[in-house]
Structure 1
Amino acid sequence: MNVKITPGKLTGTLQAPLSKSHAHRFLIAQKLARLQGNGNESASDVPSFSQDIEATKNCLVQLDKKKPFLDCWESGSTLRFMLPVAMALKKEAVFLGTGQLPYRPISPLKEEMELHGCSFTMKNSPPKAGNRHMEICTVRGRLTSGSYRLAGNISSQFITGLLMALPLLDGDSKLELTTALESAGYVDLTLDVLRDFGIKVNIETSPQGFYIYEIPGNQQYIEPARTTIQCDWSNAAFWLACGALGGDITLTGLELSSSQRDKQIVHILEEMGAHITIGDISIRCHGASLLPAEVDVSQIPDLVPVLAAIMSLADGTSMISNAERLRLKESDRLRTVFDFLSRLGADITDGGSGLSITGQPSLSGGTVYGHNDHRIVMAAAVASCGCNAPVIIRGADAVAKSYPEFFDDFTALGGNVQEV
């Protein structure tokens, strides 16, 4: 799908979208509770509000089978969470994916699992065009308890997967980080869900200051009486940014107490000069002349595309640093952010581990590519609010990965979107 956006300011009130980060974790914990006979069958179902969540739900159904085939579609979270979870329960499982997922790294999680009872047969097939479902690997052997070591600066998803799987094992386990933890908010969110389901994880720190997680074995997941999925700060950031770029947006349903680190968007926008009003159940952002900012994104990597879009329209030079891991997302997000903003006329430099952006009063508009990356598409739509001419986004249907209703909501807030 290709769309044409005629520039304009967005105004109005919107219920913030649900958090797929929270929903992934809740759904896995809920399934484990039910497999252990501790479910709450009367609890309301979590809706399938994105492709990634549908992928996780489909994989969880497969856990009822002796040899599951877990099709993770293009969800990195689903694959990296389900690898250790499935092998804590099964002797053999096959993992599949689409798009770039078969080529995204699963090391060093793979090597740690191999040290604890699992063997991997990788399918090193050449890339195929389109959305073909390809086998990623077959894993054999039950995961065993023991001492695990992972770097904390590669992927918090590896850590989450093990934290959810290790309580199921017969013996006690320890997960020791060998570096400082990046994207710590996502691990905090995992620990919140585990606590909600009655799972105990003891946390200590090494002499170097790195986290050590001690996980007793033979634990029981117990489903809580109430199903509550948090709203999503990552996707909410796109709407708050539209408010900052001359609009006036109010979002409801967001929790400032959430472990989601992307709530820092509120502080960043305030520092850049946007007007923020926080109510009991709402957050309002409306526009002003924006100032430049320097943002270390090691804990908030998902905000980079939208931050870059805002910075391209701020008065001065902004810096995004510690963003190396973005090169291993659905796209090389530093390259693709540079690509779409350059095509819109922004003054942006890819510095290898970050971006330098000198803002302008407006951007020129033009044609950009979504690169099969939902956050790139949504960031390009945000940037259109500051363009002098229409923005055409090719491959705009990538938003279905996390937010299928994005353009419906964009239109409801006064945006002019046409499919072309």
Structure 2
Amino acid sequence: MNKVEKVTAGLNGTIKVPGDKSISHRAVMFGAIANGTTTIEGFLPGEDCLSTIACFQKLGVHIDAQGDKVKVDGNGWSGLTEPTEILDVGNSGTTTRLMLGILATRPFHSVVIGDASIGKRPMSRVTNPLREMGALIDGRNNGNLTPLSIRGGTTRGIAYSSKVASAQVKSSILLAGLQSEGVTSVTEPELSRDHTERMLQAFGVEVERDGLTVSVKGGQELTGQHVIVPGDISSAAFFLVAGAIVPNSHIVLKNVGINPTRTGIIDVLRKMGASLELMNEKETNGEPVADIVISTSELKGCEIGGDIIPRLIDEIPVIAVLATQAQGKTVIRDAEELKVKETNRIDTVVSELKKLGAKIEATDDGMVIEGPIQLNGNTVNSHGDHRIGMAMAIAGCIANSSVTVEKSEAIAVSYPNFFEHINSLQ
């Protein structure tokens, strides 16, 4: 439980947000299946990414983790060995789905389990195509729910059309495709985040892209690399919103990843009239990076939907907070994917913000928010969802009295020093 008080003098200063969660996961996994040593700087030592390390250690990979520095001694695909223990992914959907793609091609048996939240999240979007490739996977609800049992082995490439724009689905199939016969391709309805494609290329893999289709040839090996992980834009989003809505604020966020498949939050802030600029743009390990500067802004409501949604799906909880301070109506649509995150984020965001007096209503595929409105202090609950917890804390910075966030320990999943950073800017 954490209590957040109204910020009276503005949020001012410079912070470096934690390393990108998606890239941290992939750096460990790709290092584990690569030949040679992979060193990682800026790794996110949050609970989800630590679950990835623990799982691959159980698969026989030597990994030395010291805070945000990690060393992975890879021995190629064949270096993975049959685990003697169940692979516990904790609360990490990324660990679950990407690791399934790797395990699908390994000639041994493994069992994957997670916490109660993971036990409710749909896995058939990954297990069905992996079965189509030849993997033997079973579990609750015909392999849709954990625990999952995987008997890997000889797999063949497929041309898969995904119904959802999901980087986890795409990545899982491509990882299996690297050790399958022939070519494996994934076609998406919209482009999802492309960290997997970029990092595979950095590790020496040939990846082909044609519009919304990405493909790899089987039989490819990875070579260990030095990976510098940029700051996570999904974590930066909370302070971008705070900087825009807390009066008298000016925040500099250093070295943040600005991968175009992830910058929907920047597009929305600019569309709503925020004072935001990018500085010191560069590229690291194939990923674009910049410092982001945000200041208090006059905001106007807007409509958010269509192909931008996959580029900001994780930021919608805090975008809802942003919308409460914008002039007019903000409509978020086409966001059904929020229903199968750590919580049903549509219902949870709406119910928790209503406790603070927000004018917000749920729709079948999103929400409608009216602003600007003075938020009130109250007790809210993260429901065990890190992004809900952080969104409510940012709301507390502008509420007329303190906001208490219950189950705030969930925030450690992606941003262990979140509350320290709020305090450091005051």
- TM-score normalised according to structure 2 size: 0.86
Q: Does structure 1 residue 314 correspond to structure 2 residue 365? A: no
Question: Could you say which residue in structure 2 is the equivalent of 1:333?
Answer: 345
* Alpha carbons of structure 1 residues 106 and 255: separation in structure 2 relative to 1, 3 Å: closer
| 1:381 maps to which of 381, 393, 396 | 393
Question: Could you say which residue in structure 2 is the equivalent of 1:282?
Answer: 291
Q: CA deviation at 1:4?
A: 1.2
Amino acid of the residue matched to residue 270 of structure 1?
A: R
Question: Could you say which residue in structure 2 is the equivalent of 1:254?
Answer: 256
For structure 2, the 5+ residue unaligned runs are: 61-80, 281-289
* Structure 2: distance between partners of 1:117 and 1:264: 36
Question: Could you say which residue in structure 1 is the equivalent of 2:201?
Answer: 195
* Structure 1: distance between partners of 2:234 and 2:316: 10
Question: Could you say which residue in structure 2 is the equivalent of 1:156?
Answer: 167
| 1:173 maps to which of 157, 164, 183 | 183
For structure 1, the 5+ residue unaligned runs are: 126-133, 206-210, 415-420
Amino acid of the residue matched to residue 268 of structure 1?
A: V
Q: CA deviation at 1:18?
A: 0.7
Q: Does structure 1 residue 142 correspond to structure 2 residue 153? A: yes
* Structure 2: distance between partners of 1:142 and 1:46: 34
* Structure 1: distance between partners of 2:43 and 2:292: 24
* Structure 1: distance between partners of 2:41 and 2:20: 15
* Structure 2: distance between partners of 1:358 and 1:45: 42
Q: CA deviation at 1:393?
A: 0.8
* Structure 1: distance between partners of 2:229 and 2:176: 21
User: Aligned with 1:386: secondary structure?
Assistant: coil
| 1:358 maps to which of 370, 388, 400 | 370
Question: Could you say which residue in structure 2 is the equivalent of 1:417?
Answer: none
> Segments of 4+ in structure 1 off by > 6 A?
none
Q: CA deviation at 1:22?
A: 0.8
* Alpha carbons of structure 1 residues 185 and 214: separation in structure 2 relative to 1, 3 Å: closer
* Alpha carbons of structure 1 residues 118 and 164: separation in structure 2 relative to 1, 3 Å: closer
Higher relative contact order (CA 8 A, sep 6+): 1
Q: CA deviation at 1:276?
A: 1.7
**Which residues of 2 match residues 10-409 of structure 1 at below 5 A?**
10-33=11-34, 38-40=35-37, 43-44=39-40, 47=43, 49-64=45-60, 65-67=81-83, 69-123=86-140, 136-153=147-164, 155-169=166-180, 171-177=181-187, 180-181=189-190, 184-186=191-193, 188-204=194-210, 211-224=212-225, 226-245=226-245, 246=247, 247-256=249-258, 258-259=259-260, 261-280=261-280, 282-296=291-305, 297-409=309-421
Contact 2:411–2:418 (CA under 8 A) maintained in structure 1: yes
* Structure 2: distance between partners of 1:135 and 1:172: 30
* Structure 1: distance between partners of 2:382 and 2:213: 39
* Structure 2: distance between partners of 1:282 and 1:215: 33
User: Aligned with 1:227: secondary structure?
Assistant: strand
* Structure 2: distance between partners of 1:123 and 1:107: 10
Q: CA deviation at 1:354?
A: 1.1
* Alpha carbons of structure 1 residues 294 and 135: separation in structure 2 relative to 1, 3 Å: closer
Question: Could you say which residue in structure 1 is the equivalent of 2:71?
Answer: none
Q: CA deviation at 1:62?
A: 2.1
Question: Could you say which residue in structure 2 is the equivalent of 1:5?
Answer: 4
Amino acid of the residue matched to residue 363 of structure 2?
A: G
Amino acid of the residue matched to residue 253 of structure 2?
A: L
User: Aligned with 1:39: secondary structure?
Assistant: strand
Would you tell me which structure has more strand in proportion to its own residues?
2
Contact 1:112–1:148 (CA under 8 A) maintained in structure 2: no
* Alpha carbons of structure 1 residues 399 and 160: separation in structure 2 relative to 1, 3 Å: same
Q: Which shifted more, 375-384 or 405-414?
A: 405-414
Amino acid of the residue matched to residue 156 of structure 2?
A: S
Q: CA deviation at 1:160?
A: 0.7
Percent identical pairs in the alignment equals 29
Amino acid of the residue matched to residue 82 of structure 2?
A: K
Amino acid of the residue matched to residue 36 of structure 2?
A: G
Contact 2:265–2:312 (CA under 8 A) maintained in structure 1: no
Q: How many residues end up aligned between the 2 structures?
A: 387
Amino acid of the residue matched to residue 131 of structure 2?
A: E
User: Aligned with 1:108: secondary structure?
Assistant: helix
Q: CA-to-partner distance for each residue in 1:340-378, whole Å, 9 max, x for gaps?
A: 110100000101101100013411121111110000000
Amino acid of the residue matched to residue 244 of structure 1?
A: A
Contact 2:43–2:229 (CA under 8 A) maintained in structure 1: no
* Alpha carbons of structure 1 residues 95 and 215: separation in structure 2 relative to 1, 3 Å: same
- TM-score normalised according to structure 1 size: 0.87
Amino acid of the residue matched to residue 209 of structure 2?
A: I
